[in-house]
Structure 1
Amino acid sequence: MKLILKTTILIIVAISLIACEKDIVPQIELPQADVTLPTNESTAEVQFTANTNWTATITGTWCTISPTNGKGDATITVSAGNNYSSQSRTATLKIVSKDLVKEVVITQNYAQLSTSSLELSFPKTASTSQLVITSNTKWIIEMPLTLTWASIATMSGEGNASVNIAVPENTSGPARSSFITIKYANESKVITITQARSTNTLPTVPQISSPAANATNVATLTNFAWTASNDADGDNITYTLSYTKDNVNWKDSVVTSTSVYMPRHLDENTTYRWKVTANDGFEGVSTPIYTFTTGIKKGLAEKEYQLVLEATEPGSGRKAAEIIFIGDGYTAADYQEGGKFNLEVAEGINEIFNVEPLKTYKNNFRIYKVGSYSVQSGVSQSDKSIVINTVFSSSFNGGSSISSNYDKVFEYCKVIPGVTDESLTNKLVILLLNQDRYAGTTYMWTDGKALAMTPVVRTNTSGSLYKNVLIHEAIGHGLGGLADEYITNQGQTINTIAISEFNQWSSLGFFANVDLVSNLTNIKWKHFVGVDGYSRVGAYEGAYGFTYGVWRAENTSCMINNILYFSAPSREAMVKRILSRANKYYTLESFIANDVEKAPSAAAAAFYTKGFNSVTFKPLGAPVLKY
């Protein structure tokens, strides 16, 4: 009986214990949510507290854990091999107790190593150089058996280190070169080691070309030139131009060419001393010191402006219609007195004021030019894979399209007193391109600012030369805000997209020479219809690139075939802008009274009737409209 009673009591206690166990709410506390392992074979411990049984698993096959189950507080060891891959790897450790799951993210970094340099150059004398290694793994340095002339203090390590490499004096004669290899994980880096030769042959002494010894009246934008040096060892030679006006403060310019143009003016009527040193990378030889004396200031320096034409009849506040000439693809020589840029600006100004209405209103203009030196002569032609290093990165892009860094162009223009971002809205900037290629593009902004990119075309047919492109792009588009009258979409009616663009720009005061209506009683230029002397004015269908649905004022003008003549509404639009920028009033009566050329000149007419070939003529591209 007692045995039965004891057994019964034991069963009751066991059942109670099991019941209590089931009633325990599992708790697991992890002090960390992630663990990072180094790239090499390593282990890490994850400690946690628990109040009941638990099991542990881990995703990923690159690491293992131990133990995988237990009861109460514990420490799990995570083990991983070397990570020699090119990226980090991760796995998730899960600790589970009943419905409670806790996770720890395990990350192992990948092996990385970089060096402060991949090339170490030593002089011919005994010296030591330091190579800085930045790494998160073990590494070892290997040297080829042939590298007997260098020693390395530290050949292996782990993590970051500074390694000293020493070489003795090179007494063997020629330069010597070798390498060392730094190995880590499954990767390696090769470091080249060179030491200068023990002997060197000096380059020959350059001979000066200009300015000549004791020369006088030398240009203030001086061109220093000398003959090339020869080097028996075949070394690359650099030249140091040194000059001074007081024999104390020398200014140096290091170049690889045999000439240097001063980008800034030297002082007028001043005696200077100068010399040239040729250096082969080891030693240098210098010319004797020569003297020259400058004359009066001439030419156009880099980022220097000059007033070329002053308005003789400015408006109130001395306001005037202002034009700024600037160039791309012109080198320093082109800005000397009588240089190419200066001559082509003068030619352009002459052509501008040979055309009406600018000829009549010339006294309202103020014209500047700005120096902008390019490294190379000419202009890039991306459509021909030609790249030229120029100050404004201008490029011919195919057809008549041209692009340039217009923001930089405008920055150069700001060297002119009073020229700001705001005042540029009332100025025409003409960017002359030193390239004999027929093309032209004008950027027109809604606020009135304009940049006319004008190549200096020489070898082309009549009507497609520098003066024609200049007048069409700079004066027609840039000053007048005129639309093209070309027909480039033969047989097509103007579409809705073009109509929308046209109307938007017309509402801002542009495109006075073209209209979308043909009724002479309400066309834009109706005030010229039937007026004495304006018999040419009517409605001629075909303009703005389309054959139908758009009309021009006269049968021919600069905006349709580049002749040096503008239609009546084109001339009027220009005069309105000229007077507005000169702070003067416009009246139709005054315009008609001063409108002296109401038809093409004999020369222009002869070009159109005899020299113009509508089949071979290539229209210039439409202006680029900027909002």
Structure 2
Amino acid sequence: MLIAFTNCQDDDDQLSLSTSQIEVSSEGGEESIEITSNTGWQALFTDNDAASWISLSPLSGNSKNNKVKITFDENKEYEERSAEILFKAGKATQTLRITQKMSEELRLATHTIVCEQKGGKLGLKVYENVDYTIHISKEAQSWIQPIETKTLNEDSIYFQISENTDTLTRKGSIILQANDSEISDTFTVYQQELSLELSSQAIAFFHTKSTKKVYVTSTHTTAEGYPDYIYTFSPTASSWCTIEPSEDKKTLSISVEPNNTDEPRATDIIITASVLKKTLHITQSAKSDEKYYEDKEYIQLQKATKGKGVNIVLMGDGFTKTDLQQGGYYESTMRQSADYFFSIEPYASYRDYFNVYMIAAESEEEGVSNANQGIRVDNKFRSSFGEGTAIDWDYKLCLDYVDCIPELNGQPNILSILILNSNYYAGTTVMSMDGYAVAACPMSREEPPLDFEGLIHHEAGGHGFGFLNDEYVYYETQQLPKGIKEEIKMWHAAGYFQNTDVTNLPTQVIWKDFIGMDKYPAVGFYEGANMYGFGIWRPEEESCMDRNIAYYNAPSRWSIVKRIMQLAGEPFTFDDFVRTDHVQAPPETKSGLLKPVPPLGRPILLTHSLNRKEIKSPVKTKP
């Protein structure tokens, strides 16, 4: 808007400006005006704030014609600003009015969101003072649709997000592009995948009346955040099997009536969330021909045929009475666990040196507690999933069960493997200075190497028996703290953590005997282990203690074999190991291209003996 300038002066004082108003773009810049006066003049800011973004040169002059250069800073604000400059020549005055345009604005109040699997209406607040066009990224055009157009100023735009029926998370972008400039802003939408998980895939009932629980989790949820699913099963099973969901539908209570017939019976419960279906298989045994292990009853699965015998004890948590049928789920799971333990070198080659026991442990309820999900299960060893992949349980009670085996009562150097009746990916091992260890391993159904077998290799074979350190790097840019460094040195002195070292000096590192050997070209110095990226080294690029792959690096294998032979009471040298070791590093360990795996729970290290007391076995030993 143009405003006419005023001219107040005496007859003798004359002052004029070449313009009375200047309009400036938001970018700022430079303008000039001509001043005509018959006497000396000066320029004054009527507002002190104007001096912060306007500068004049010169600020005064004589009676001749003068040219004044005016410089304007960029206006980064989203509001127009103005100022007045007063020119005085004697009693004559002139006012120059300056207006600077606002900065162009096109921005979103937020820039990312994780939408629920069901989808719904998405509103985005936009701050703008320009016209713009909305674009949807190509991969998201089928599931992100604009449903309302924008209004002026501080407005909101709305989109309809379709349901995600895929089992993978999806990502899309909403781009706001100014029509007449290059400014833009982008909003990223992540949408949850469709998932449906059951705490058990199958439930076995004893012939008597009983109730068991199954926990249901799903990304397909109600407005209250509860799992949203339906279940169906054969009408013919309704006479003996009933299903009762909890109010929040997170739990299904399955009840069966007594089976007084001579035939077992079964039914399938189909649970459906959106388009995803899961089957829960229900079986109930017949009244006749049932033989079950008693709590703390044990059998020997394998007897050592070489040496004094190295002892392993398998037990389970979250297994109920019906699982303890002889030859049934519990026993088959323990036998499978033993096979997994010996499916990797060097254990496969030294299996004949081991005694393997199974001891029955009966829980009141099936499964494992989960503190993060508010799930409480009444299981024998009070196992519970904690933060991340860590597991909490009563490891001293595991020790009491070991002592129920007379030949192992009070003995050191025993590995216990606690199998958790859950498909969760997690793992933690307790190691004590007296050589006793307990490795907690769920029955993970993840893809290898994150599966059940991979957990046995890492937790039981690596930590529990091999006393190996983790080779994960989680804090990629951090140095190993001094306190942890001293702790590792202490455990080194006790024969633990022989696969990592806090030095990379070839003459001092723990695996110095392997350095330079033609048979072990992969052995060297790779910085990063024990969660930290710097200040600690591992001997090979990849191994089970990093990626869970079915491969222990050469120094780890030597540490394992050395302990086997020590406990077996047979002499064995490093040269004997090199002569008999014929394991080749798999291609993955040389490429470094494997994706990172989630770190498992840190080992619990006990520097004291566990003070074991003698416990008499209440159950007769079985052959």
Could you say if the C-alpha distance between residues 302 and 259 of structure 1 is closer, same or farther in structure 2, counting changes exceeding 3 Å?
farther
Deviations 1:46-103 (A, max 9, x none): xxxxxxxxxxxxxxxxxxxxxxxxxxxxxxxxxxxxxxxxxxxxxxxxxxxxxxxxxx
How far the C-alpha of 1:407 sits from its partner, in A, is 1.5
Whether the aligned pair in 1 keeps the contact of 2:210 and 2:255 (CA below 8 Å) is: no
For residues 246-261 of structure 1, the aligned pairs below 5 Å read none
How far the C-alpha of 1:400 sits from its partner, in A, is 1.4
Q: Which of 383, 400, 414 is residue 389 of structure 2 equivalent to?
A: 400
Residue number in structure 1 paired with 2:424: 437
How far the C-alpha of 1:389 sits from its partner, in A, is 0.4
Deviations 1:224-274 (A, max 9, x none): 43699xxxxxxxxxxxxxxxxxxxxxxxxxxx986799xxxxxxxxxxxxx
Work out whether 1:518 is the aligned partner of 2:526.
Answer: no
Q: TM-score, normalised by structure 1?
A: 0.51
Residue number in structure 1 paired with 2:181: none
Q: Which of 420, 434, 454 is residue 441 of structure 2 equivalent to?
A: 454
Residue number in structure 2 paired with 1:360: 349
Per the alignment, in what secondary structure is the counterpart of residue 468 of structure 1? helix
Deviations 1:491-526 (A, max 9, x none): 011111111111111111100000111122221111
Residue number in structure 1 paired with 2:10: none
Deviations 1:365-400 (A, max 9, x none): 110010000011100011211100001111111211
Matched residue type, 2:451 = L
Deviations 1:558-616 (A, max 9, x none): 0111001001111111111111111222211211122120413x6x669x877x422xx
Residue number in structure 2 paired with 1:387: 376
Matched residue type, 1:597 = V
Per the alignment, in what secondary structure is the counterpart of residue 618 of structure 1? coil
CA distance, structure 2, for counterparts of residue 292 and residue 439 of structure 1: 37
How far the C-alpha of 1:301 sits from its partner, in A, is 2.6
Matched residue type, 2:433 = T
CA distance, structure 1, for counterparts of residue 490 and residue 210 of structure 2: 61
Whether the aligned pair in 2 keeps the contact of 1:300 and 1:306 (CA below 8 Å) is: no
Q: Which of 306, 310, 321 is residue 303 of structure 2 equivalent to?
A: 310
Residue number in structure 1 paired with 2:319: 330
Unaligned stretches of 5+ in structure 1?
1-220, 229-255, 262-290
Residue number in structure 2 paired with 1:54: none
CA distance, structure 1, for counterparts of residue 478 and residue 543 of structure 2: 21
How far the C-alpha of 1:409 sits from its partner, in A, is 1.3
Whether the aligned pair in 1 keeps the contact of 2:503 and 2:536 (CA below 8 Å) is: yes
For residues 160-171 of structure 1, the aligned pairs below 5 Å read none
Deviations 1:256-297 (A, max 9, x none): 986799xxxxxxxxxxxxxxxxxxxxxxxxxxxxx98758xx
Q: Which of 422, 426, 444 is residue 413 of structure 2 equivalent to?
A: 426
Whether the aligned pair in 2 keeps the contact of 1:223 and 1:259 (CA below 8 Å) is: no
For residues 5-84 of structure 1, the aligned pairs below 5 Å read none
Q: Which of 595, 599, 612 is residue 613 of structure 1 equivalent to?
A: 595
Per the alignment, in what secondary structure is the counterpart of residue 383 of structure 1? helix
Whether the aligned pair in 2 keeps the contact of 1:568 and 1:598 (CA below 8 Å) is: no
Residue number in structure 1 paired with 2:483: 497
For residues 139-218 of structure 1, the aligned pairs below 5 Å read none
Could you say if the C-alpha distance between residues 427 and 260 of structure 1 is closer, same or farther in structure 2, counting changes exceeding 3 Å?
farther
How far the C-alpha of 1:429 sits from its partner, in A, is 0.3
Residue number in structure 2 paired with 1:346: 335
CA distance, structure 2, for counterparts of residue 327 and residue 532 of structure 1: 44
Q: Which of 361, 364, 377 is residue 372 of structure 1 equivalent to?
A: 361
How far the C-alpha of 1:448 sits from its partner, in A, is 1.1
Residue number in structure 1 paired with 2:605: 625
Whether the aligned pair in 1 keeps the contact of 2:209 and 2:258 (CA below 8 Å) is: no
CA distance, structure 1, for counterparts of residue 486 and residue 374 of structure 2: 36
Per the alignment, in what secondary structure is the counterpart of residue 313 of structure 2? strand
Matched residue type, 2:580 = N
Residue number in structure 1 paired with 2:556: 570
Whether the aligned pair in 2 keeps the contact of 1:438 and 1:464 (CA below 8 Å) is: yes
Residue-pair matches, total? 337
Unaligned stretches of 5+ in structure 2?
1-203, 212-253, 260-285, 608-623
Work out whether 1:417 is the aligned partner of 2:406.
Answer: yes
Q: Which of 475, 487, 493 is residue 507 of structure 1 equivalent to?
A: 493
Per the alignment, in what secondary structure is the counterpart of residue 625 of structure 1? strand
Per the alignment, in what secondary structure is the counterpart of residue 443 of structure 1? strand
Whether the aligned pair in 2 keeps the contact of 1:324 and 1:427 (CA below 8 Å) is: yes
Matched residue type, 2:470 = D
